[in-house]
Amino acid sequence: MATIREILVMAHTHHDIGYTHTPSACLEAHEAAVGEAIRLAEAAQHDDSPTAFRWTFEISRPVLQYLRHAPADEVRRLQELVAADRLAVTGGYLHMTQLVGHEEALRAFWPIHELRERYGLPVTIVQHGDINGLGWGTVPLMAAAGLDTLVMALNPDHGRPPFEQPSAFHWEGPDGSRVLVWLNLHYGFADLAEEGTIDSAREVIPPLLARTAERTDYPFDFLIVHAARDNMWPDGRAVNAARLWNEEGCTPPMRVVTIETAMAKVREQAARVELPVVRGEWSDWWAHGHGSSAYEVGIGREARAELRAAETAHAVRQVVGQAPKARPGGIAVGPTPPLLGWYGPPIAGARRGAWSERVDAAYDDLLLWEEHTWGAGESVTKPFSQVTHAHWNEKAGFGYRAHATARELQRDAVQGLIDALPAGDEPALVVVNPLSRRRDELVTVTSRTGTTTRLVRDLPPLGVTVVPLHDETSRPPERATVIENRFYRVEVDPATASVTSLIDKETGKEWVDAGAASGIAGVVYEVADPADDHPAITTSRRHFHPDTPGPRFVRTAATGTGEGPTLERAEGRSTLIWEGKALFLPVVRTTITLYDDLKWIDIDVYLRKEENYEMEGVYVVFPFALERPEFHLETTGAVFRAGIEQLPDTCHDWYSVQHAIGVTDGESSVLWATREAPLVQLGGFRAGHWAREFRPESGHIYAWLMNNLYFTNFKAAQGGQFDFAFRLTTAPGGVDPSAVRSWGESFAARPVALIDAVAPGEFHWLDIGPETVIAQVVTPVPRSHDDGIVIRLRETAGQVTTATVAWRAEGEIEVGQTGIFGEVVDAPVAGDGRTFTFSLRPFDLASIMIRRR
């Protein structure tokens, strides 16, 4: 129990990139607001009263944009006001959702180095508002960036906080690093900013004081109250409210502070007590919104993979250092003019901007797409309003622009690498592998002349395979309900349009749970039961909330249509295709592919969806026959065990994953991957349960493709044509985190294939080992004319590991360790010019720089 001696008032705006206005209007205003905050802070710089104007910049992106455009005098003014504790700068780039990928998450912390080194601003704190969770990998990234404190002004709508608000605890990362977390009240608590009065404060603060006095887990003698609203322009309302509170003799007194002052006090008093330490994922209750725009979410995830392939190809081309060789152009050049086209080859000189600038712009668009503001505040209640349409057009534009830029970068980079390879006499299939491990993969090339699909084996790591073009041998299609190879026997029921038997021939195990709502790859449509009197149906979807469990859903599995499944055979693979339909899904087409010599199954689902503005959901179900299983989920920068390595009271009903899940009962296991769709429900249908713990009875994975269970921000309905891809493999025994990460990465980061006149063969320059060490990204030295490349390496097995980098081409290289945030560190790695070794800690993320000697 503690006696509260003062209330610290922290004034800022909550940065929604939209919601109250269009994203472009908000971005412009946020940058301009930096200048206004400087003006107000300067006007009050001689006011030493406890209620003098002070302001905190909640995120760093507007500050960076302002500083990059500001004259030197304005930069100096900001620096002086920060030094005087009149203004404070924080380190969170934007308020990110759990869509953010491994490399984007790291990129979001790159500005910390710029803020400190270029502008001399101390940054030690990350502040977030509204969002209800963060990937577990956030902790080691913050620790590596020198950010020791996380402030979460969590929004309890649609979810729960892991501890009572306010609270403090240490959040421990998968690598053992820690950050101090201040879990605060919602940023709009007491309405000090909106009203500029104390009417609301008089009402809500006394009960909070009484509750705090009862608590034995709150060892602090202060409270922190945010004075903020969505996209609020800086002004003196919070100052006036705090002054009025003090003048009228309300207790305890209020003091206006920056976040630096507030967190200094938190750290000081936290050091005197033993705070809770928690490990695991902070799974986000609001992640269900990722299912509001399935097509665009898939586009964003594809952009991420294309950026990775582009950076890899460009970097490898740079370090290979061979001059382009003259040879015939691509296929179908002849009399055809060089046309700029989506499917055509890149045209040299058609793009402006330096490579690094284009990459930076693509990542920035991707972060703006993955940021938490999806739509207008009235997107659900007024789905046809002008602002709803204008807002969504701009928001979706971030994802589409990131994708378009990434695709052009990929084409340019891959073509540049191909141009450095020996010329061939005939067009050939050229396949670039962006991963640091050997692999087999089915690749597809789409050009103006058609589509070519081939199974390519033994692709070299970070290398190229060139194979001659030839016509595939195939058999005429035939009707069949069974498909099998030496690993699996798969049986499809035409009536239920799903896999009703999947037998692993190596173990004899049947993997389909016969008691499920549908078989593997079955499509299930759900709608809130109109006969249910739940308030989420009868009043407002705001009542889709833990305080009101439910509502009840009616679920219907798709049924088969047409003449039944069709079996097609091609080189190295067999494919079974069938069609079905369900409510609001007039066409469901499912394709399952087995490979002659590869133990995995590919499943592709095409949907034609009609819009429905009632509460709905769409699933592809994978009811694996496992009892009391353990689920291992790939999240941003980590793999965690659902319900075990997870903060208390965070979301168990659904999870947003990167690309992979491993599930095991200890005796058998399955690795499962998803490309476009991140949302899953585990162990059964769980929407509306609002479970406080996760104790699954079955090993079911339900890919939750679409839903609209929210009351604001997200799209009210969605329709159109959609493609979703999945992959699975089964094995005896358990699951390890390294296998999960590798499985997801291999499925997400597809090889890139082109048709060009290149001599057949394998081109392989660099090896990285062991397999538990992966290259998260391979990229040219950022923003530099240096001819070196940077490789970010991730240890994935949770063990101290000796990593090896081996040069396979002619000549020798130099290897040095460098900072993961783009900072230059002169730390040579010992080696003989061909092979280099260095140590990685468990789950370590390290950066190395490679140059040719």
Least confident of 37-51, 53-67, 778-792: 778-792
**What confidence score (pLDDT) does residue 613 get?**
98
Residue with the bigger pLDDT between 694 and 191: it is 694
Res 285 pLDDT > 70: yes
Query: How confident is the model over 435-460, as pLDDT tens digits?
Result: 999 999 999 988 766 788 999 999 99
Res 806 pLDDT > 70: yes
- Helical spans, DSSP H, in 49-94: 61-69, 72-83
d(CA 579, CA 586): 10
d(CA 764, CA 760): 13
> Under 8 Å CB-to-CB from 740, ≥6 apart: which residues?
632, 633, 634, 639, 660, 661, 662, 671
> Under 8 Å CB-to-CB from 434, ≥6 apart: which residues?
308, 309, 312, 313, 462, 749, 751, 752, 778
**What confidence score (pLDDT) does residue 788 get?**
86
What's the Cα-to-Cα distance from 292 to each of 209, 445, 712, rounded to whole Å?
39, 30, 11
**What confidence score (pLDDT) does residue 108 get?**
97
**What confidence score (pLDDT) does residue 194 get?**
76
Mean pLDDT, the chain, rounded, equals 94
**What confidence score (pLDDT) does residue 330 get?**
46
**What confidence score (pLDDT) does residue 333 get?**
44
**What confidence score (pLDDT) does residue 610 get?**
98
> Span 466-486, mean pLDDT?
89
Confidence band, pLDDT 50/70/90 cuts, at residue 332? very low
d(CA 299, CA 572): 29
Query: How confident is the model over 716-757, as pLDDT tens digits?
Result: 999 999 999 999 999 999 999 999 999 999 999 999 999 999
**What confidence score (pLDDT) does residue 331 get?**
45
d(CA 810, CA 829): 20
**What confidence score (pLDDT) does residue 328 get?**
47
> Span 76-104, mean pLDDT?
98
Residues in the chain: 853
> Span 351-367, mean pLDDT?
89
The closest of 38, 12, 76, 560 to 239, measured between CA atoms, is 12
Confidence band, pLDDT 50/70/90 cuts, at residue 784? low
> Span 208-231, mean pLDDT?
96
> Span 121-138, mean pLDDT?
96
Confidence band, pLDDT 50/70/90 cuts, at residue 335? very low
Confidence band, pLDDT 50/70/90 cuts, at residue 357? very high
Query: How confident is the model over 820-845, as pLDDT tens digits?
Result: 886 767 688 999 999 999 999 999 99
Cβ proximity of 383 and 332 under 8 Å: no
Res 852 pLDDT > 70: yes
The domains of the chain, with CATH numbers, are: 6-279 (3.20.110.10), 286-429+476-747 (2.70.98.30), 766-852 (2.60.40)
Neighbours of 170 (CB within 10 A): 16
**What confidence score (pLDDT) does residue 562 get?**
84
Confidence band, pLDDT 50/70/90 cuts, at residue 795? very high
Query: How confident is the model over 601-627, as pLDDT tens digits?
Result: 999 999 999 999 999 999 999 999 999
Question: For the CA atoms of 441, 442, 447, 451, what is the dihedral angle to 10 degrees?
Answer: 170
Query: How confident is the model over 134-173, as pLDDT tens digits?
Result: 999 999 999 999 999 999 999 888 889 999 999 999 999 9
Question: For the CA atoms of 387, 391, 392, 394, what is the dihedral angle to 10 degrees?
Answer: 140
Res 340 pLDDT > 70: no
Least confident of 128-137, 289-298, 307-316, 331-340: 331-340
Q: Which DSSP helix (H) or strand (E) runs through 316?
A: helix 294-320
Cβ proximity of 849 and 781 under 8 Å: yes
The closest of 56, 759, 765 to 421, measured between CA atoms, is 759
Coil, strand or helix at 204: helix
Q: How far is CA 600 from the centre of its chain?
A: 25
- Token representation of residue 439: 């692999």
Res 428 pLDDT > 60: yes
DSSP letters along 342-409, please? SSSPP-TT---S-HHHHHHHHHHHHHHHHBS--S-TTTTTSTTSHHHHHHHHHHHHHHHHHHHHHHHH
Confidence band, pLDDT 50/70/90 cuts, at residue 352? low
Burial of 117 (0-12, 13-18, 19+ CB in 10 A): exposed
**What confidence score (pLDDT) does residue 327 get?**
47
Read off the pTM. 0.96
**What confidence score (pLDDT) does residue 821 get?**
82
Q: Report which residue type is found at 272.
A: R
d(CA 682, CA 646): 15
> Span 453-479, mean pLDDT?
91
Determine how β-strand 167-172 pairs with β-strand 277-279: parallel
> Span 809-813, mean pLDDT?
91
Confidence band, pLDDT 50/70/90 cuts, at residue 212? very high
